[in-house]
Amino acid sequence: MVAESRKKRLASTHRAHIFYSGRVQGIGFRYTAEKLAADLGLVGWVKNLPDGRVEILCEGPKDRIELLLRDIQQSELAAYIKKTQCDWGKPTHEFKEFCIEFCL
């Protein structure tokens, strides 16, 4: 029964690779995204890129990832976003939590 429940949960997990461009660095984007994602129970990371974009890689139920996208678009961050690109893929289940990666 437990193995069946785990299989179902893993099967319902999705992966989103999201890029935000605009004036999205230096405005608290990563911290806001981290809180929103963690509150939704998503796992993965958010980081600034050297080219000025912010990148999010997350996994969880598709409806929760879609809520993250919506919540970001409805937050104070929306005024700074010019473009959002979201690519869906197969989850790897490599993450245990959602965190900020510092790599600039």
> Is there a catalytic annotation at residue 64?
no
Query: CA 75 to CA 67: how far, in whole Å?
Result: 12
> Is there a catalytic annotation at residue 30?
yes
What type of residue sits at position 20? Y
Could you say which of 15, 30, 53, 64 is catalytic? 30
Unique residue bearing structure tokens 């994602």: 37
Query: CA 79 to CA 17: how far, in whole Å?
Result: 21
Could you say which of 6, 9, 23, 48 is catalytic? 48
> Known catalytic residues?
30, 48
